[in-house]
Structure 1
Amino acid sequence: MVTMVGNEADIKDLVKNLLYLEHDAIAAYDSCIERLDSRELAGQISVFKEDHLQHVQVLTAMARELGIEAPTEGDMKQMLTTGKIALADLMGDAAILKAMKTNEDDTVTAYERAVRHEDAIPASKAFFMKAHQDEEKHRSWMETTAKTL
């Protein structure tokens, strides 16, 4: 999937859409943890899920500062992110991690764009940069680990 998150003209829309994306990611992580045969892999995915939960906390605080209502769940894309995991489950852990990696592609792209948003204040940009680094780490681990299975 190709995300459009990060292309918003208004910082309020950006924060709201990042929250939707994070909630979609958390749902995919839950699905992944449930479906992985390897408890070791599921444990690492759980660690990465904590990063997403932390991102939601920061984005929710940003939404509050911007005076907007923070989404508390994903949007329609959640069916796609979790659906890929369900289909990949038919082919095993490597396929699940590859499906998760494609979900991470979207979060990496979204945060790359968010860092460059013209209305982002320095504190927001710093968070977007950290979130981007987290997503890069998740994606890299998933890609590398899937190749070894």
Structure 2
Amino acid sequence: MVTMVGNESTIDKLVTNLISLEHDAIAAYDSVIERLDDRRLSAQVAEFRDDHLQHLQVLNEIARDVGTEAPTEGDMKQMLTTGKIALADLMGDAAILKAMKTNEDDTVTAYERASRHEDAIPQSKAFFLKALHDEQRHREWFDTTAKTM
């Protein structure tokens, strides 16, 4: 799936869409943690989920600062992100990790764009860059780990 998050014309829409994206990501992470056979992999994925929970907390603060209402759940994309995981589960842990890598592709793209958004103030840009680095680290781990299985 290709995300359009990060192309919004206003910061409030950007933050709202990033919050939805994080809710979708957290749901996918929960699904992965339940489905992985290897508990060591599940433990690492749970750490990554914690990063997303922290991102969500900061985004909710930014939403308050810009005066927009934060979504409390994901959107229709959640069915796609978790559905990919459910299908991959039929083929084992490596397939699940590959499916999560594609989900991380979207979050990396979203935060790359957010970090360049013209309405982002220095504090939000700093957060977007931190989140981008987290997402790049997650994506690299999913990719590398899936390839070595």
Structure 2, unmatched stretches of 5+, are none
Runs of 4+ deviating beyond 4 Å: none
Q: Give the residue type in structure 2 aligned to 1:81.
A: T
Q: Secondary structure at the match of 1:119?
A: coil
TM-score of the superposition, structure 2-length normalised? 1.00
What does 1:1-149 align with in structure 2 at a 5 Å threshold? 1-149=1-149
Q: Which moved more, 1:83-92 or 1:61-70?
A: 61-70
**Aligned residue pairs, count:** 149
What is the CA RMSD across the aligned residues, in angstroms? 0.3
Give the letter aligned to residue 136 of structure 1. Answer: Q
Question: Structure 1 CA distance, aligned partners of 2:54 and 2:72?
Answer: 14
Give the % identical residues.
77
CA separation in 2, counterparts of 1:138 and 1:41?
A: 12
Give the deviation of 1:12 after TM superposition.
0.3
| Secondary structure at 1:9 match in 2 | coil
Measured in 2, the distance between the counterparts of 1:61 and 1:125 equals 14
1:66 Cα deviation after fit: 0.9
- The SS at the match of 1:70 is coil
Once the 2 structures are TM-superposed, how far is the Cα of residue 72 of structure 1 from its aligned partner?
Answer: 1.1
Partner SS for 1:74: coil
Deviations, residues 57-101 of structure 1 (Å, cap 9, x unaligned): 000000011111111110000000000000000000000000000
Counterpart CA distance in 1 for 2:69 and 2:117 is: 20
> 2:128 is matched by which residue type in structure 1?
F
Larger displacement relative to structure 2 (95-104 or 65-74): 65-74
**Structure 1 residues 82-141: Cα deviation after superposition (integer angstroms, max 9, x where no partner):** 000000000000000000000000000000000000000000000000000000000000
TM-score by length of 1: 1.00
Q: Structure 1: how far apart are the matches of 2:91 and 2:26?
A: 22
